[in-house]
Amino acid sequence: MKIKSRHHLKGSDARKVIAKIEPLLEDASGLRRSSLEMAISDDGVDLIFVDGRPLMMVVEDQPFFTVLGAIELHPTKKLVVVDSGAVRFVVNGADIMRPGIVSADPEIAVGDLVVIVEERYKKPLAIGRALAAGTDMKGEGKAVKSLHHVGDVIWNGLGE
């Protein structure tokens, strides 16, 4: 992943980003005191750096966590919990299938961005887009389209 340009967000723009992320967090006070920068990349995934760390990405003009951001910011909403058998598939970029889901936030609507976490330690593994409502995520078929996972170009490009 190559960054084409990087600039600090104006106060008003930073407040808009934080306002969209804040409802998903238990405590966003640290985020409000942070410096936010927008990084435009050459592969179409724009990142938002929080105090120099790439904790958010922009998906269809909507800010959401990167996996690193979910690890550091500890979201409490929009979570999809998968069982240990699904972990190896999720970290390799597979979409999330309903049989592997243990639980999901009932507030999730079709099309929402979600954080996929593993069952035992609640460690974030991937970011995806819900293909089903949170209340309908058990059963058969695909429930979440994977957009970003541990080990992908965003994850590996974060060190640059």
- Tens digit of each residue's pLDDT (9 = 90 or more) over 103-137: 999 999 999 999 999 999 999 999 999 999 999 99
Mean pLDDT of 64-89: 97
**Model-wide pTM > 0.85:** yes
How far is C-alpha 5 from the geometric centre of its chain's CA atoms?
22
Contact 143/80 with Cβ under 8 angstroms? yes
**Regarding the domain delimited by 79-155, which CATH topology (the fold level of the hierarchy) does it fall under?**
2.30.130
d(CA 135, CA 156): 33
Average pLDDT of every residue of the chain: 93
Tell me how crowded residue 49 is: count the other CB atoms within 10 A of its CB: 20
Share of the chain above pLDDT 90, in %: 82
pLDDT of amino acid 29 = 86
Q: Which of 51-55, 87-91, 145-149, 155-159 has the lowest mean pLDDT?
A: 155-159
Q: Tokens 């500890």 — which residue? A: 74
Residue 132 in 3-state DSSP? Answer: coil
Tell me how crowded residue 117 is: count the other CB atoms within 10 A of its CB: 23
The boundaries of every CATH 2.30.130.10 domain in the chain are 79-155
**Regarding the domain delimited by 3-73, which CATH topology (the fold level of the hierarchy) does it fall under?**
Nuclear Transport Factor 2; Chain: A, (3.10.450)
pLDDT of amino acid 47 = 95
Nearest to residue 97, comparing CAs of 128, 53, 57, 64?
A: 128
Question: Which value, in Å, is the radius of gyration of the alpha carbons in the chain?
Answer: 15
The boundaries of every CATH 3.10.450.120 domain in the chain are 3-73
Q: With bands split at pLDDT 50, 70 and 90, how would you rate the model's confidence at 156?
A: confident
pLDDT at 23 over 70: yes
Which amino acid appears at position 46 of this protein? D
User: For residue 33, what is the DSSP state?
Assistant: T
- Give the pairing of strands 79-82 and 113-118: parallel
pLDDT of amino acid 160 = 43
Length of the chain (residues): 160
The phi, psi pair for 99, rounded to 5°, reads: -60, -25
